[in-house]
A and B are shown apart, each in its own frame.
Chain A
């Protein structure tokens, strides 16, 4: 990643060698939210309006997965021209919620199964006037893809 790498959305994840999603925990009932909750707790039994930032678990299990074989419409910004398809995974975290993200570069649907373990990484998403914009992605756990293992 270059020096100009900036998160595509501010405050939603940390960067560095052990990046993590940043959610919030309601100080009244302990409800955990991602994206960050800043106004009213979503728990109907809770009047809470204050929240602490919490880093969510970096590892989770695949709830499901797919890919985008056609270029999505705006406001999606393709990283390359011509468009290169990418995979998407919905991942269950130990905090009891599911978070969707793109799958890390170099991995596709053949590397995934429901229930498999994945790890959060931060990678470039697109480039704009201010530099490279980064995003969280899900990377199959273990260093080699199943394709490589089977090869």
Chain B
């Protein structure tokens, strides 16, 4: 479909949960799973990229080499990538770029993490020049507070309700029931979500994703390699990791102010819209071609924002899709058939890869119990700290 295509030869995951083991174990388990899925031997991998994890000490900062060592040194080229929640996609893009340049043929991309309980918070120490530290010290702005600002705007501007947000959780929980890698596999009702305590008005505890341990891995090859070896998996047609455009007028974690329109007007597209547009342009498709989407439901309300940011419906109308069941498996445009972060929780360097794993299973018709029938084109989207974000397009 695109001259930027690379082949997805194999995908694998370590189930999400709170397992209390080192992140390396989750990453290597996922990598072995992905290699087995591809039928490619580790010794035939000529490039490995690790998604960096920042809460697990020195080995986490050099994740590529850490995973390579654990799998057994095989002499491959190596890289490590960090881009907050977009880490996995950026790692994937690093692998894709080397393959497209003709410098590598088979790449293994791995992300894994362990996370503490409760609110994500900055590393210890006093840092008055660090916006991530200052937002907590000066105003107590947690991640859910940012999610809540966006959720509140949907209510006040578009007439969304807390019940609409709860309906997203209900849908994703139902999707995740059949996903063996999901941490939470339990059905909930709108009443259950509404009965959970409010964390940051208007969001309840069950509107907000948890933190988890987990791992995911993807084996990429050149299209020529795939053809030569009879590999028939999906293709990655686009990976978008664009930065915001000045002035960044949308509030984004961890900043507590936006850029000003004093010197230049706001850009035509917001950062999240720009991420999607770059992906569509690179893949040579439009939003109408999308059959299934995996988006970052850090909060239930953010899933609704993403559906609009991806151009799938007009701004301010996404809750209609949820109300009519269109975003459920079996509906017109299923969103987060994996169960999303609602069922997985955040394992930061793994999550953007997990989205690609799910779309691979969807496009191969292997997503048992949550299969989007006839899915040919899928898109992922996520957003991270410091102007990071990504969108990946895959097709069967």
* B141: min CB distance to chain A, Å: 6
Identity of the chain B residue whose Cβ is nearest the Cβ of A28 in the assembled complex: B263
Our pick among A9, A44, A72, A95 for the contact of B262 (Cβ within 8 Å) is A95
Surface stretch bound by A, among B37-45, B92-100, B129-137, B286-294: B129-137
Whole-angstrom CA separation of A25 from B260 in the bound complex:
10
Give 1 or 0 for each of B205-219: 1 = CB within 8 Å of chain A CB: 000000000000000
B73: CB under 8 A from chain A? no
A20: CB under 8 A from chain B? no
Q: Which residues of chain B have C-beta atoms less than 8 A from A69's C-beta? A: 197-201
Q: Which residues of chain A have C-beta atoms less than 8 A from B118's C-beta? A: 73
Contact: A95 with B149, CB < 8 Å?
no
Whole-angstrom CA separation of A126 from B149 in the bound complex:
24
Looking at B137, B140, B249, B257, the one whose CB has the most chain A CB atoms below 10 A away is B140
Q: Which residues of chain A have C-beta atoms less than 8 A from B178's C-beta? A: none
Q: Which residues of chain B have C-beta atoms less than 8 A from A31's C-beta? A: 247, 259-260, 262-264
Our pick among A29, A90, A125 for the contact of B251 (Cβ within 8 Å) is A90
Our pick among A26, A72, A90 for the contact of B263 (Cβ within 8 Å) is A26
* B267: min CB distance to chain A, Å: 11
Contact: B149 with A65, CB < 8 Å?
yes
B139: CB under 8 A from chain A? yes
B138: CB under 8 A from chain A? yes
Q: Which residues of chain B have C-beta atoms less than 8 A from A125's C-beta? A: 138
A43: CB under 8 A from chain B? yes
B153: CB under 8 A from chain A? yes
Contact: B261 with A66, CB < 8 Å?
no
Q: A63-B153, A64-B153, A74-B121 are in contact. Are A98 and B258 (CB under 8 A)?
A: yes
A135: CB under 8 A from chain B? yes
Classify chain A: how many residues form its interface, as a range.
Answer: 35 or more
Contact: B136 with A34, CB < 8 Å?
no
A131: CB under 8 A from chain B? no
Q: Which residues of chain B have C-beta atoms less than 8 A from A65's C-beta? A: 149, 152
Whole-angstrom CA separation of A115 from B153 in the bound complex:
10
Contact: B201 with A135, CB < 8 Å?
no
Whole-angstrom CA separation of A103 from B360 in the bound complex:
46
A142: CB under 8 A from chain B? no
Give 1 or 0 for each of B225-266: 1 = CB within 8 Å of chain A CB: 000000000000000000000110101000011111111100
Q: Which residues of chain B have C-beta atoms less than 8 A from A33's C-beta? A: 259-260
Contact: B128 with A9, CB < 8 Å?
yes
Identity of the chain B residue whose Cβ is nearest the Cβ of A115 in the assembled complex: B156
Whole-angstrom CA separation of A68 from B200 in the bound complex:
5
* A126: min CB distance to chain B, Å: 9
Q: A35-B257, A73-B118 are in contact. Are A135 and B138 (CB under 8 A)?
A: yes
Contact residues of A between 80 and 109, Cβ < 8 Å to B: 86-88, 90, 95-102, 109
* B138: min CB distance to chain A, Å: 6
A8: CB under 8 A from chain B? yes
Contact: A70 with B199, CB < 8 Å?
yes
Q: Which residues of chain B have C-beta atoms less than 8 A from A75's C-beta? A: 122, 126, 133, 136-137
Q: A69-B198, A70-B199, A73-B119 are in contact. Are A97 and B261 (CB under 8 A)?
A: yes
* A5: min CB distance to chain B, Å: 15
Q: Which residues of chain A have C-beta atoms less than 8 A from B148's C-beta? A: 66-67
Contact: B264 with A72, CB < 8 Å?
no
Q: A63-B153, A64-B149, A65-B149 are in contact. Are A99 and B121 (CB under 8 A)?
A: no
B145: CB under 8 A from chain A? yes
Contact: B152 with A44, CB < 8 Å?
no
Give 1 or 0 for each of A1-25: 1 = CB within 8 Å of chain B CB: 0000000110000000000000001
Q: Which residues of chain A have C-beta atoms less than 8 A from B138's C-beta? A: 8-9, 125, 135
B142: CB under 8 A from chain A? yes
Whole-angstrom CA separation of A77 from B137 in the bound complex:
7
Whole-angstrom CA separation of A34 from B259 in the bound complex:
8
Identity of the chain A residue whose Cβ is nearest the Cβ of B150 in the assembled complex: A64
Contact: A66 with B152, CB < 8 Å?
yes
Q: Which residues of chain A have C-beta atoms less than 8 A from B203's C-beta? A: 66
Identity of the chain B residue whose Cβ is nearest the Cβ of A41 in the assembled complex: B263
A50: CB under 8 A from chain B? no
Q: Which residues of chain B have C-beta atoms less than 8 A from A151's C-beta? A: none
Whole-angstrom CA separation of A30 from B261 in the bound complex:
10
Q: A63-B153, A64-B152 are in contact. Are A97 and B140 (CB under 8 A)?
A: no
Whole-angstrom CA separation of A75 from B197 in the bound complex:
24
B101: CB under 8 A from chain A? no
Whole-angstrom CA separation of A8 from B139 in the bound complex:
11
The 16 sampled A-B contact pairs (Cβ below 8 Å) are: A32-B263, A33-B260, A35-B257, A43-B264, A65-B152, A66-B148, A66-B149, A66-B152, A66-B200, A68-B142, A70-B119, A72-B140, A75-B133, A75-B136, A88-B141, A100-B139
Taking A73-B142, A135-B138 as known contacts, 6 extra A-B pairs with beta carbons closer than 8 A to each other, sorted by chain A number, are: A8-B137, A32-B262, A68-B145, A100-B135, A113-B156, A114-B157
Closest 8 CB pairs of A and B: A96-B261, A66-B148, A31-B263, A114-B156, A72-B140, A97-B260, A64-B149, A73-B121
